Amino acid sequence: MDIIYGNFNAEVIKAIKEALESNQVNPLYIYGTSGTGKSFLVSKMAEEYRGTSLLIKSKEFQPAQLNEYLDYDLLILEDIQLLPTRSPVPETLFEITSYFKELDKQIVYTADCPPSLLDISDRIISRIEAGVIVKINRFDKKSKRKVLNVLGKGFPSETINKLIDKDIHTISQAIGAIKKTKLFGYVTPDEPEKETSSREKKRIRGEFDQFINEVKEDIPETLGGTEREESLRDEYRSKMYVWKMKGFNVERIKRVIDGPIEKITSEFVSFTMDIQRLIELQRRYGILEIDALFDTSVLTHNESKEIEEALFDPERVEWLTNKIDEFEKIQESLSTTDHETMQPPAEEFDTKKTNQVNIENLINEISLELKDNSFRLIEEY
């Protein structure tokens, strides 16, 4: 199905197009009631994105897979209002948002409510609100007609008009109404909604609250917690072993691996982000012209050795970042200077060209004179 453009989703489509072309809408937060077409639009975005992309639903989100998520250029996380609020999810969400924004990678969130109503920490909400927030609205009359005309292509105008009069507000409702009309061959009337009295609502709510309390008493929140913690701790140990085998300094994780699970979770997320930054710094250092820096005494052999060790030490990310920033600026300056030296001034170049022309003319004149004299000498002889 093609994207249907209308007043209800115009801002969202514009924001997605901008995100596909630049990094000026990062993070992008799309919200709207269920059925408004959020999933359809972001799936189209993932298809058109020029780079690696991953679209993941909240129920599939695993903090232990943080490394894998960070490898993508575009990460779309759907229905974040459904994410668990227990650790390590909030910490992971915060670090992912910060990391993608820092490296100009695109991150997109969808939800059924504005960020301020999410049950997550204020610092995550603050990160989201620093990006672009757009809403898919319910249909206005013009949008409803356009959607129904597209979805009900071939329907008589009378049928479309009857559908417009129905209580249809979202893409999902429109698709359902079209399917139902095709099935029965006519537009079925809306079923009247049963009014629920405030007393009935209160009774239902009271019964629900009582049920929840009984469940909490019968099944303590700590049930299964120890097993989950140990499973998570094992995953952290496995990750730590992999990092160690790759040469990274893992002392920071070692210090907390047997401590409270909340502490190791927080440290794990932070450590993972630093590893990703180190990998990026390794790439940047690898493309520097080291020999040129040695030749100009900007970089010494001892300092080079220290940098190469720091490239595997998460504790030295900030120091390393400053060093490589400095070297990149110096290298750019050296490249500019060399380029200017290689280009001769315009006036000097013109003079040489003129001299070359004069020399060629002189040679021609000499050749002609020699020829004339040769003929004369031969005749005299």
Reported as a single tens digit per residue, the pLDDT across 248-265 is 998 888 888 888 877 787
**Do 187 and 162 form a contact (C-beta atoms < 8 A)?**
yes
Q: What is the pLDDT of residue 212?
A: 47
SS3 helix, strand, coil % of the chain, rounded to 5?
65, 5, 30
Asked if the model's pLDDT at residue 197 lies above 70, the reply is no
Q: What is the pLDDT of residue 379?
A: 37
As a whole number, mean pLDDT of residues 354-371 equals 48
As a whole number, mean pLDDT of residues 196-215 equals 52
Give SS3 for 165.
coil
Q: How far apart are CA 155 and CA 187, in angstroms?
A: 11
Model-level pTM greater than 0.85? no
Q: What is the pLDDT of residue 63?
A: 84
Q: What is the pLDDT of residue 54?
A: 94
Residue range 276-326, pLDDT digits in tens = 888 889 988 888 888 888 888 888 888 888 999 999 998 898 899 998 888
Q: How far apart are CA 312 and CA 300, in angstroms?
A: 19
Q: What is the pLDDT of residue 341?
A: 57
The model's confidence at residue 66, banded by pLDDT at 50, 70 and 90, is: confident
Asked if the model's pLDDT at residue 223 lies above 50, the reply is no
Give SS3 for 29.
strand
**Do 131 and 137 form a contact (C-beta atoms < 8 A)?**
no
Which residues neighbour 70 within 8 Å (Cβ) at sequence distance 6 or greater? Answer: 96, 99, 272, 273, 276
Q: What is the pLDDT of residue 52?
A: 92
Q: What is the pLDDT of residue 338?
A: 59
The model's confidence at residue 11, banded by pLDDT at 50, 70 and 90, is: very high
- Say how many Å lie between the first and final Cα of the chain, rounded: 101
Name the superfamily (CATH) of residues 10-135: P-loop containing nucleotide triphosphate hydrolases (3.40.50.300)
Q: What is the pLDDT of residue 375?
A: 36
Q: How far apart are CA 356 and CA 365, in angstroms?
A: 15
| Backbone phi and psi for residue 188, each to the nearest 5 degrees, phi listed first | -80, 145
The model's confidence at residue 215, banded by pLDDT at 50, 70 and 90, is: very low
- Average confidence score pLDDT of the chain: 79
Pick the more confident residue, 344 or 138. Answer: 138
- For 201, counting Cβ atoms within 10 Å of its Cβ (0-12 exposed, 13-18 middle, 19+ buried), the class is exposed
| Backbone phi and psi for residue 256, each to the nearest 5 degrees, phi listed first | -120, 0
As a whole number, mean pLDDT of residues 3-10 equals 86
As a whole number, mean pLDDT of residues 12-35 equals 90
Q: What is the pLDDT of residue 87?
A: 74
Q: What is the pLDDT of residue 376?
A: 37
The model's confidence at residue 361, banded by pLDDT at 50, 70 and 90, is: low
Contacts made by residues 249-256, CB under 8 angstroms, sequence distance 24+: 249/312, 249/313, 249/314, 249/315, 252/314, 252/315
The share of the chain scoring above pLDDT 90, in percent, equals 19
As a whole number, mean pLDDT of residues 147-174 equals 89
Q: What is the pLDDT of residue 370?
A: 40
